[in-house]
């Protein structure tokens, strides 16, 4: 006796009561439901959203590391420039003391000293501009760090919210899949082993689908 589904699949010479064939249809429906639930689980939009948030957070983390290194370099450069300023100031103070103390009597030496003082004053002004530039650049870098840190905090909050939504959806899907799996086990346990084995082989051959469209009913291809 050959059994055939209305969907067109031939099951071969396996004896099966109408009840057993109806159970196979229910198994097919349950397997389709389990497949849909798995597809839904894999395709939850929260997965992609979390991925985007994690990628953005990783970029911000790298940016913060770069900004921290930049600030460290700027601080070292500022310290060096400030040291240079102090050295120039010390030379200016020393030369002025000589000048005020009347230690330079030669007109030529006096002219040279005054020229040096003017040159040192320009050097001091230039170095102070450098120091100011380093300070401003540090301030700008700190502003970028604060902005990046603030965005990371927002991302952390968003990730927590999205994770909660994802977990709730996964729990719901898991509950539905658990019920469907329990029902499938109960139905499969009532089927004759050879019929169930044939059904499983047909599922494997047809990509997880072993029956016709939902709602199809079996018919006997021969006498009962």
The owner of tokens 């760090």 is 145
What CATH class is the domain 3-220? mainly alpha
**Lowest model confidence (mean pLDDT) among 37-46, 90-99, 182-191:** 90-99
Buried b (16+ CB within 10 A) or exposed e, 46-73: beebbeebeeebeebeebbeebeebbee
d(CA 67, CA 70): 5
d(CA 89, CA 108): 23
Largest CA distance in the chain: 137
**Where residue 13 falls among pLDDT bands split at 50, 70, 90?**
low
User: Would you state the structure tokens that stand for residue 98, as one six-digit string?
Assistant: 């000589």
**Where residue 221 falls among pLDDT bands split at 50, 70, 90?**
very low
pLDDT tens sequence across 123-174: 999 999 999 999 999 999 999 999 999 999 999 999 999 999 999 999 999 9
How many residues are there in the chain?
A: 224
pLDDT tens sequence across 64-88: 999 999 999 999 999 999 999 999 9
Domain extents for the chain?
3-220
Give the residue among 162, 156, 166, 164 at the shortest CA–CA distance from 60.
156
First and final CA of the chain: distance in angstroms? 8
User: Would you state the structure tokens that stand for residue 66, as one six-digit string?
Assistant: 């770069």
Q: pLDDT at residue 6 above 90?
A: no
Which helix (H) or strand (E) segment holds residue 3: the answer is strand 3-5
- Three-state DSSP class for residue 4: strand
- CA angle 214–218–224, rounded 5-degree value: 170
């Amino acid at each position: 006796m050959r059994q055939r589904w209305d969907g067109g699949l031939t099951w071969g010479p396996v004896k099966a009561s109408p009840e057993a064939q109806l159970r196979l249809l229910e198994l097919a429906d349950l397997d389709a439901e389990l497949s849909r639930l798995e597809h839904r689980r894999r395709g939850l939009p929260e997965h992609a959203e979390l991925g985007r948030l994690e990628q953005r957070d990783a970029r911000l983390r790298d940016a913060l590391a770069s900004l921290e290194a930049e600030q460290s370099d700027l601080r070292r450069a500022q310290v060096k420039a400030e040291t240079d300023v102090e050295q120039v100031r010390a030379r200016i103070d020393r030369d002025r003391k000589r000048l005020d103390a009347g230690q330079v009597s030669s007109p030529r030496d006096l002219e040279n000293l005054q020229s040096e003082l003017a040159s040192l004053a320009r050097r001091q002004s230039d170095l102070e501009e450098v120091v100011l530039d380093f300070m401003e650049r540090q301030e700008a870098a700190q502003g970028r760090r604060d902005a990046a840190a603030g965005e990371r905090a927002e991302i952390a909050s968003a990730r927590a919210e999205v994770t909660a939504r994802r977990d709730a959806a996964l729990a719901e899907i898991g509950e539905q899949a658990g019920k469907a799996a329990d029902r499938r086990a109960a139905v499969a346990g009532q089927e004759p082993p050879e019929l169930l084995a044939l059904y499983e082989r047909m599922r494997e051959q047809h990509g997880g689908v072993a029956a016709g469209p939902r709602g199809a009913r079996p018919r006997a291809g021969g006498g009962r």
